[in-house]
């Protein structure tokens, strides 16, 4: 254990910069590169991250204090005397708005460890926002420097970012310009002009209750909106005869009753989709500018309904997992999703998604593609239907499949082939061996 002093390092020709934000408090466990305070001079503002990790024992600055090079910011207890290993954090660890600024070397004099910091860009280039707002903006792809700040001293708030997104999506009087789909750069949405969002005083018509959207709803809503607007969706509807498959599923569940493994329709769907994705690689791909990135792995996400909204956990390497593994893993991830305990890593890396509403009902729907994927399978409730077998109608259990695809990448014939093949696998899994 060692307690080190954190001081303000060389910040150029700036002195007497005001502390305008305290981002940590005593007792907090600080990670290396985590921002501690925000300081502001008459020219610019910046966040000052800690170069080392540890527990903050004391914060020696208050809001409004003036600091210069060498000012004591706080005392940090490090687990292993990290004071002797102070390294400036890499540029990539600093928030986007100032990412073009190079970190200054930390003061290596001991036992005083200087905070790692950034050279200061001109004020006009600086977006004044907390790390959580910056993270939020990054998640939504919002360029912070374009967002007007409504907080004290022009700080950008969560609401400012939301309003910016709303403004872009619903701008009525000019073409919307957003960053290009499937690649870098920007694209004009072709002069699309939208009416402003209706502003209605609902209380004029009766009692109402206002509920803020959950964090998940806000994030997933913005993503769904972007994907819906920017991907030319087409949905191919088909039906799979799962009469034999359902009989097998019921039998497997009886046989494995003691193990607790529940063979769900979702597990079979994952397996069948993995086989189909291997056969039709363009469905296992992402658009990146003018390139199609074909993935050599098969990771599939499934939409999970939670009390706070929709999340999409991802099962990795579906093609190399057994049905029981898939059943166990989906059950565990769905439970984690409901408890709000999924880690970001468990929702990343998907190549394709499945949205199964079979347990809820419906006959068909149009699932929205989960960018940067290029297709998604929607599944509704199976139903017994009379199917003509060439000489008579037979009762068969039919599963509705709705395959939405990005028409920039996949044409209608390919989608019909994919869906037909998928249906044939579900009708008879032995086809996977062919």
Token match 């193990």: residue?
259
Residue (38 or 264) nearer to ligand CAO, CB: 264
Closest CB to ligand CAO among 107 and 373? 373
**The binder of ligand CAO chosen from 165, 311, 334, 398 (CB under 6 A):** 334
| Segment interacting with ligand CAO, rule: CB under 6 A, options 86-94, 97-105, 379-387, 426-434 | 379-387
Q: E-assigned strands of 11-69?
A: 17-22, 29-30, 35-40, 45-49, 54-59, 66-67
219/255 Cα distance (integer angstroms) = 42
Instruction: For the beta carbon of residue 186, count every other beta carbon within 10 angstroms.
Output: 9
Q: Is 265 in the site for ligand CAO (CB under 6 A)?
A: yes
Of 259, 255, 423, 399, nearest to 325 (Cα)?
Answer: 259
The tokens for 117 are 């910091």
Stretch that binds ligand CAO, among 27-35, 124-132, 159-167, 263-271 (CB under 6 A): 263-271
Q: Using the rule CB under 6 A, is 161 a contact of ligand CAO?
A: no
Q: Would you say 52 or 312 has its CB closer to ligand CAO?
A: 312
Interaction of residue 426 with ligand CAO, rule CB under 6 A: no
Tokens for 346?
Answer: 């468990």
Choosing from 34, 41, 236, 264, the residue that interacts with ligand CAO (CB under 6 A) is 264
- Tell me whether residue 294 or residue 335 sits nearer to ligand CAO (CB atom): 335
The question of whether 256 is a catalytic residue gets the answer: no
| Beta carbon nearer to ligand CAO, 365 or 421 | 365
Contact 185, 141 (CB under 8 A): no
**CA gap 86, 6 in Å, rounded:** 11
Within 350-369, the residues that bind ligand CAO by CB under 6 A are 355-359, 367-368
Binder among 39, 52, 88, 399 for ligand CAO (CB under 6 A): 399
Contact range with ligand CAO by CB under 6 A, out of 53-61, 111-119, 141-149, 297-305? 297-305
Residue 432 CB, nearest approach to ligand CAO (Å): 20
Q: How far apart are CA 284 and CA 279, in angstroms?
A: 10
Alpha-carbon distance of 72 to 62, in angstroms, equals: 11
Relative to beta strand 117-118, strand 186-188 is unpaired
- Rg, C-alpha atoms of the chain: 27
Nearer to ligand CAO, 272 or 379 (CB): 379
Range 266-295, binding ligand CAO (CB under 6 A): 266
Q: How many residues contact ligand CAO, by CB under 6 A?
A: 20
**Alpha carbon separation from 86 to 4, 63, 77, 78, 369 (Å, rounded):** 11, 26, 13, 11, 45
The angle formed by the CA atoms of residues 73, 91 and 99, to the nearest 5 degrees, is 95
Interacting stretch for ligand CAO, rule CB under 6 A, among 20-28, 212-220, 377-385, 418-426?
377-385
Residues at the contact surface with ligand CAO, assessed by CB under 6 A: 264-266, 302-305, 310, 334, 355-359, 367-368, 379, 381-382, 399
Catalytic residues: 407
């Amino acid at each position: 254990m060692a307690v080190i002093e954190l001081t303000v390092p060389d910040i150029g020709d700036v002195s007497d910069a005001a502390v305008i934000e305290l981002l940590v408090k005593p007792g907090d466990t600080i990670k290396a590169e985590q921002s501690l305070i925000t300081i502001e001079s008459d020219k610019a503002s910046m966040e000052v991250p800690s170069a080392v990790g540890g527990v903050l024992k004391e914060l020696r600055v208050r809001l409004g204090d003036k600091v210069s090079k060498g000012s004591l910011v706080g005392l940090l207890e490090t687990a292993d005397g990290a004071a002797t290993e102070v390294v400036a954090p890499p540029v990539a660890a600093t928030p986007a708005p100032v990412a073009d600024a190079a970190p200054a070397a930390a003061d290596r004099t001991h036992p005083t460890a200087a905070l790692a910091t950034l050279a200061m860009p001109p004020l006009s280039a600086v977006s004044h926002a907390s790390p959580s707002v910056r993270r939020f903006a990054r998640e939504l792809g919002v360029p912070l420097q374009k967002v007007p700040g409504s907080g004290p001293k022009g700080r950008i708030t969560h609401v400012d970012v939301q309003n910016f997104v709303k403004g872009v999506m619903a701008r009525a009087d000019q073409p919307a310009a957003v960053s290009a789909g499937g690649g870098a750069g920007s694209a004009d949405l072709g002069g699309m002009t939208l009416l402003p969002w209706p502003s209605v005083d609902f209380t004029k018509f009766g009692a109402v209750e206002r509920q803020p959207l959950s964090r998940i709803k806000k994030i997933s809503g913005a993503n769904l909106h972007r994907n819906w607007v920017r991907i030319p969706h087409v949905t191919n509807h088909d039906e799979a005869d799962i009469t034999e498959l359902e009989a097998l599923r019921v039998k497997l569940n009886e046989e494995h009753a003691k193990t607790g493994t529940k063979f769900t329709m979702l597990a079979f769907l994952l397996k069948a989709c993995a086989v189909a994705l291997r056969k039709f690689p363009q469905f296992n791909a992402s658009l990146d500018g003018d390139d199609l990135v074909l993935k050599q792995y098969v990771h599939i996400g499934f939409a999970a309904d939670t009390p706070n909204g929709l999340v999409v956990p991802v099962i990795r390497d579906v093609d190399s997992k057994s049905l029981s593994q898939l059943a166990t893993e989906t059950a565990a991830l769905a439970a984690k999703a409901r408890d709000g305990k999924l880690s970001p890593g468990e929702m990343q890396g998907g190549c394709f998604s499945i949205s199964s509403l079979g347990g809820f009902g419906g006959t068909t729907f149009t699932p929205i593609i989960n960018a940067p994927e290029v297709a998604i399978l929607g599944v509704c409730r199976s139903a017994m239907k009379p199917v003509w077998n060439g000489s008579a109608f037979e009762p068969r259990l039919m599963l509705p499949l709705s395959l939405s695809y990005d028409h920039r990448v996949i044409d209608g014939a390919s989608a019909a082939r994919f869906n037909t093949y998928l249906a044939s696998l579900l009708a008879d899994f032995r086809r996977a061996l062919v």
